[in-house]
Amino acid sequence: MIRIANGQGFWGDWLEAPVRLVEQGPLDYLVLDYLAEITMSIVQKQKERNPELGYARDFPPLMARIAATIKQRGVKVIANAGGVNPAACARQVRKLAPHLKVAVVEGDDIYPRIDELIAAGHAMKNMETGEPLSSIRNRIQSANAYIGAFPLAEALSTGADVVIAGRCTDTALALAPMVHQFGWKPDDWNRLAAGTIAGHIIECGAQCTGGNCQVDWPSIPDMANIGYPLVEASPDGSFVVTKHSNTGGRVSSHIVKEQLLYELGDPKYYITPDCIADFTSIHLEDAGIDRVRVSGIRGGPRTPFLKLSISYSYGWKAIGTLVYSWPDAVAKARAADAIVRQRLEQLGLTFEEIYTELFGYDACHGPAAAHCPDPPEIQLRIGVRGQDKEAVDRFTRELIPLVLNGPPTATGFGDGRPPVREVVAYWPALAPRELIQTRVEVVE
């Protein structure tokens, strides 16, 4: 049995979680998930400005902070903190913690190869619209293939203390130690599916130990010191989801079920680079305090394709807010919205979308929200999106004047005009897996 914990569910998660995981109890592997689709475009822009950037910059200082502990306890760290520049991330880790052995996995970044692949006849069509990638060629900001667990397991076989990857799947981070430790083969479909589901359960960190939980959330104990999840994995593919003792939060089958439904499409056909997992085969049972046993998982052969995560520029947006207080807060907010829209029309400004929300009234639940005819305050939130940056900028100058020339009691305008921001869109596509060749390098 090996213990695999996840200490980061996204770039920006609790900085203390990985430190506590390696200090508060036994552990063999610490995995850290930093990347989301939007993150790839952010780090790509950073790399273009500075070739020594392009990775999750929180990661190297974290490794320096826990270096002595993981060396002493023999904990291996696997992270996708490399973004679009795993080698630079590794060099910074080595600079801050020179006694750590670091391996990097590269090959997922196909941004430099876009023209080559298009010229070779690979359309990389949008999976939702069918458009070829060439239609947005001049707006592409990043392009990466989702890679699986086996390249990460290869990196672990170098004896590295820290393995740094780019755009691997979230589930691969936890599956890789099982492949490495148990010697699972590329066609061990049931075991690979089990490891994939283990990774899916813990990929969002404390979301499976009581964080963001709908099941009797007021009773979750000591959320200020919530324990992050760990999996006790066995060679046969069964595992237990738990957390360190004497930590906050809770692990139960109800909470694990909530996480299982996260980002799930067809439950019988959960596709990853390593296998296809059947979520309908999962058997859960509470096996003690803060322990859920998972078994019976079935899987199938992987597909001949890898998914591509491509980001591209899609115009501009701006979002502004004002707060209106009782009485008649809803009526004031709606009147202010109507005034802004009328003034934009009079200026001849058009946008792809103008969107308005009334927070405190129906923004989250729409028509299903509980009826509250006269709430104490309402936050009016208006956003526009379009291709004309100047038009979007002009919108930002129409909200603040309402403080004096619109409905009464407006407040919450201390930050002034809202900023104009670039819209980054997501382009999902497929590519034959043989086009993606990964490689492992040890950074000395």
Tell me: the pLDDT tens digits for 93-132? 999 999 999 999 999 999 999 999 999 999 999 999 999 9
Segments in 277-411 forming alpha helices (H): 329-346, 389-396, 402-405
State the CB neighbour count (10 A cutoff) for residue 442: 13
Q: Are residues 360 and 268 part of one domain?
A: no
Is this model's pTM higher than 0.85 or not?
yes
Query: Structural domain tally of the chain?
Result: 2
Residue ranges making up the domain that contains 211: 2-108+146-303
Q: Are residues 172 and 240 part of one domain?
A: yes
CA 2, CA 266: separation in Å to the nearest integer?
A: 30
Does any domain span residue 200?
Answer: yes
Residue 444's pLDDT band, with cuts at 50, 70 and 90, is: confident
Q: Are residues 263 and 347 part of one domain?
A: no
Residue 280's pLDDT band, with cuts at 50, 70 and 90, is: very high
Work out the burial of residue 226: count CB atoms within 10 Å of its CB; fewer than 13 is exposed, 13-18 middle, 19 or more buried: buried
Query: Residue 314 sits in a domain of what CATH number?
Result: 3.30.70
Average the pLDDT over 269-293 and give the result: 98
CA 25, CA 110: separation in Å to the nearest integer?
A: 40
Provide the 8-state DSSP code for 207. G
Please report where in the chains the tokens 């430190």 appear, as a residue. 19
CA 46, CA 49: separation in Å to the nearest integer?
A: 5
Cβ within 8 Å of residue 319, ≥6 positions away:
381, 382, 383, 418
Cβ within 8 Å of residue 266, ≥6 positions away:
none
pLDDT score, position 284? 97
Q: Are residues 294 and 317 part of one domain?
A: no
Q: Which amino acid is it at 129?
A: T
Q: CA 78, 79, 83: angle at the middle one, nearest 5?
A: 150
Burial 74-108 (b: 16+ CB within 10 A, else e): ebbbbbbbbbbbbbbbbbbbbeebeebebbbbbbb
Cβ within 8 Å of residue 22, ≥6 positions away:
30, 66, 69, 70, 73, 75
Q: Are residues 151 and 84 part of one domain?
A: yes
N-to-C CA span, the chain: 31
pLDDT score, position 215? 82
pLDDT score, position 45? 86
Q: Are residues 367 and 289 part of one domain?
A: no
Q: Are residues 401 and 381 part of one domain?
A: yes
CA 41, CA 142: separation in Å to the nearest integer?
A: 5
Is the CB of residue 3 less than 8 Å from the CB of residue 31?
Answer: no
Q: Which amino acid is it at 410?
A: A
In tens, the pLDDT along 166-219 reads 999 999 999 999 999 999 999 999 999 999 999 999 999 999 999 999 888 999
CA 147, CA 129: separation in Å to the nearest integer?
A: 24
Tell me what the pLDDT averaged over the chain comes to: 96
Provide the 8-state DSSP code for 274. S
Pair of tokens at residue 431: 């590519």
Q: Are residues 226 and 365 part of one domain?
A: no
Does any domain span residue 120?
Answer: no
In 335-389, the DSSP E strands lie at 353-359, 377-386
Q: Are residues 340 and 293 part of one domain?
A: no
Q: Are residues 223 and 101 part of one domain?
A: yes
Residue 254's pLDDT band, with cuts at 50, 70 and 90, is: very high
In tens, the pLDDT along 304-345 reads 999 999 999 999 999 999 999 999 999 999 999 999 999 999
Average the pLDDT over 297-309 and give the result: 97
In terms of residues, how long is the chain?
444
Pair of tokens at residue 410: 């407006």
Q: Are residues 85 and 14 part of one domain?
A: yes
Please report where in the chains the tokens 């592997």 appear, as a residue. 29
Pair of tokens at residue 391: 């038009």
Percent of the chain whose pLDDT exceeds 90: 93
Is the CB of residue 67 less than 8 Å from the CB of residue 100?
Answer: yes
Phi, then psi, of 141 in degrees rounded to 5: -110, -30
CA 71, CA 99: separation in Å to the nearest integer?
A: 9
